[in-house]
Amino acid sequence: MKYALTLEYDGGGFAGWQVQPHARTVAGELATALARLTGESPAVHAAGRTDAGAHSLGQVVSFELTRDWEPARLRSGLNAHLPEDVAVVEAGLVSGTFHARFSAIRRSYRYLVENRESRPALLRGHAWHVRRALDLEPMRAAGAALLGRHDLGAFGRDPGGRNTVRMLERLEVEPARAGVVGFELSADAFLYGMVRRIVGFLVAVGLGRRDAAEASALVVPGAVCTAPVAPAHGLYQLRPRYAEAIA
């Protein structure tokens, strides 16, 4: 049977999603929990690989088990074996053709910036602290120029060395709430590092260090974005959208 899980995790204590030798990773913890609970070591496919320090509110993974498991029991059993900074929030059965990565039709990320002079306490390690006040309107204007299907190689790379054209469907710069500015981005697929580089560029615009008009010159082949990259700890992966429901 093939199963899909939706995970959430605090990435602060991990060297990213992907298994790495001599490093604590989310995939490694999940593999250990699966082996302890089921006695199996299935190949696990994830919707995306998160960076070291980045978080997830909806990482979807798929795998096959030889023994049938009731999804609720699989979820509760894995949670009993996983560490406190990883949790299975949903478990379900999927078709044999479902793939957590390749079946996704839309992906979304959220990024948080704590925009205030005082250093953070509650959001330390969970939002990028930017002391100077951000001007949101130029940031929105720059973001609007990135929307649509463009070559976004200035903001990231394709891990497989393929083309860097992506369809950026949504880029919202939300008003500050309690000093926190939120960015939400959705696309058909993301390049490696794309969200953090886009947010870094937009913050540079909001601080007056870059002009919003520069955005149009960054969506052409060969363009390079030299703005600082936003740190990983403000990034949150959201649950992808699939055509198939996870039962």
Cα 245 to its chain centre, rounded Å, is: 21
Interatomic CA distance for residues 242 and 106, integer angstroms: 7
Cα 169 to its chain centre, rounded Å, is: 16
Interatomic CA distance for residues 240 and 7, integer angstroms: 12
Interatomic CA distance for residues 198 and 114, integer angstroms: 17
Cβ burial of 208 (10 Å; 0-12, 13-18, 19+) is exposed
Strand pairing report for 235-237 and 104-115? antiparallel
Secondary structure element (H or E) that encloses residue 112, with its range: strand 104-115
Is residue 85 flagged as an active site residue?
A: no
Catalytic residue among 51, 68, 151, 211: 51
Beta bridge partners of 4: 62, 92
Beta bridge partners of 59: 7
Interatomic CA distance for residues 99 and 233, integer angstroms: 27
Interatomic CA distance for residues 91 and 71, integer angstroms: 5
Torsion over CA of 185, 189, 195 and 198, rounded to 10 degrees?
A: -80
Q: Which residues are catalytic?
A: 51
